[in-house]
Each structure stands twice: as structure tokens, then as C-alpha cells.
């Protein structure tokens, strides 16, 4: 009689684990935006995600690390590294314009502005480390990617920039102007005209940047 080999037992429920992790991140993101960091408890995150508090801690360790992972996941979804890929054969203006339009619309998005407000609320309550976490995972990462692209463009002779770190900060300031602050203070008059202004400000910012840094 032929004995069939026994099927190997399946490993632990990895897909389910990842589903729980994703649910926790989504719940934490919603609560951090709604209640800021200080007003969000691990109990509330667990209840929102439909898991136990122990599960939340087993995936993320503590609230600081959970917050960092929420910001990291959010930023990587919204600002993938591919946007900052340097392509030697591409027109430098088109490369910069793609970044400018994406980033300007992103920073002025209503939900993202709500996140900024929540962070500022925590900073006003004496919790600056959460703002620091946001800075490290968001703007600081983005500036690093931009600096790398600008350096490639300098090395390829397409731009003449003595300080790419400073130029990166100038670029992001130029492409959004005062639009982010206006939305943070609720001063945009009309959604349609505001969206058009985002687009035009980004294009004008790229043109101004290139007037400063194209090789003479």
C-alpha cells in the first residue's frame, strides 16, 4: 500500500497578520488626524482597528513607533521615490515640473493639511518630538530625494548649483508659495480657483528655479 506523504502544516497566518497591521495603521492615521497625537490612545487605536491592544503593541511596540510608521507609510504612498528618479535623457524642466505639480497638490490637499494642523496642535501642547518625527519621515526624506536628483543633474551638466541642499529648500518654497498657509488658515476663496492657482504657482516656481540654476 502506497503511503501518501502528509501535507506540511501551514505556517502562521501571515496574510492575516499583515491585514491586522494595515488595519491598525489605517485606524491610527484616522485617529491622529482627528484627535492629534496627545488625544489618541493605544486603546482607541485597537478599538478602531477591531483588534486587541496586545496586538497593537506586538506590531508596533509603543505609540511613538506607531506614529512614525503611520507617517512613513503615508509619505511613501503619497511620495514614491520613483518621482525623484533622475533620467539622463529627459528634459530637466519636465523632470522638475513633474515633481512640482505632484508635490504642490499634495501639500495643499485638505486631508494632509489636517495632519499638519494636528501636529501643530501637539507642538503647542509641549510635545515637539512628534513634530520632529513628522519632519524626519516627511519633509526631511523628501528633501534628501530632491537633493540627490539635483546632484545628478549637476553632475550631468544640466544644472549649475553650488549648494544642492539649499536649492532643494528653495525649490519646494517656490512651487507652493503661500498656498499651504492659506489653506491651513482656511483662506482659500474658491476650490476651483485655488486648484488652478496651485498648478500655476508650481509651473512659475519651476521657471524661476531654472532661471537661477540653468548653466549660463
95 or 81, higher pLDDT? 95
Write the class of the CATH domain 85-213.
mainly alpha
**Which residues does 88 contact at the CB level (< 8 Å), separation at least 6?**
152, 156
> In this predicted structure, what is the pLDDT of residue 123?
64
What sign does the dihedral 173-101-122-69 (CA atoms) show?
negative
CATH number, span 18-74 = 1.10.10.60
Q: Same topology for domains 18-74 and 85-213, yes or no?
A: no
121 or 92, higher pLDDT? 92
Nearest to 212 by CA among 96, 79, 82: 96
> In this predicted structure, what is the pLDDT of residue 5?
43
What are the pLDDT digits (tens) for 131-175?
777 777 778 889 999 999 999 999 999 999 999 999 999 999 999
Residue 126 reports pLDDT greater than 70: no
What are the residue boundaries of the structural domains of the chain, listed by start?
Answer: 18-74, 85-213
Coil/strand/helix, residue 189:
coil
Look over the chain and give the mean of its residue pLDDT values, rounded to a whole number.
Answer: 83
What sign does the dihedral 198-128-77-154 (CA atoms) show?
positive
What are the pLDDT digits (tens) for 19-47?
999 999 999 988 887 887 778 899 999 99
What are the pLDDT digits (tens) for 49-94?
999 999 999 999 998 889 888 878 877 777 788 899 999 999 999 9
Cβ atoms within 10 Å, residue 202: 25
> In this predicted structure, what is the pLDDT of residue 109?
76
What's the pTM value of the predicted model, to 2 decimals? 0.68
Q: Could you tell me if 161 and 154 are in contact, meaning their C-beta atoms sit under 8 angstroms apart? A: yes
Amino acid at each position: 500500500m502506497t503511503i501518501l506523504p502528509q501535507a506540511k502544516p501551514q505556517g502562521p497566518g501571515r496574510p492575516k497578520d499583515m491585514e491586522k497591521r494595515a488595519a491598525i495603521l489605517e485606524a491610527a492615521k484616522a485617529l491622529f488626524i482627528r484627535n492629534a497625537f496627545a488625544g489618541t490612545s493605544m486603546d482607541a487605536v485597537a478599538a478602531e482597528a477591531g483588534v486587541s491592544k496586545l496586538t497593537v503593541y506586538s506590531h508596533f511596540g509603543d505609540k511613538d513607533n506607531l506614529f512614525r510608521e503611520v507617517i512613513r507609510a503615508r509619505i511613501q504612498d503619497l511620495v514614491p521615490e520613483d518621482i525623484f528618479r533622475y533620467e539622463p535623457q529627459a528634459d530637466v524642466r519636465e523632470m522638475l515640473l513633474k515633481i512640482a505639480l505632484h508635490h504642490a497638490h499634495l501639500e495643499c490637499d485638505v486631508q494632509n493639511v489636517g495632519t499638519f494642523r494636528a501636529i501643530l496642535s501637539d507642538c503647542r501642547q509641549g510635545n515637539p518630538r512628534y513634530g520632529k518625527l513628522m519632519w524626519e519621515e516627511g519633509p526631511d526624506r523628501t528633501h534628501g530625494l530632491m537633493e540627490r536628483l539635483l546632484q545628478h543633474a549637476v553632475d550631468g551638466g544640466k544644472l549649475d548649483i553650488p549648494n544642492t541642499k539649499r536649492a532643494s529648500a528653495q525649490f519646494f518654497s517656490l512651487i507652493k508659495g503661500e498656498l499651504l498657509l492659506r489653506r491651513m488658515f482656511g483662506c482659500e476663496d474658491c476650490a476651483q480657483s485655488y486648484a488652478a492657482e496651485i498648478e500655476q504657482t508650481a509651473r512659475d516656481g519651476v521657471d524661476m528655479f531654472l532661471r537661477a540654476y540653468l548653466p549660463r
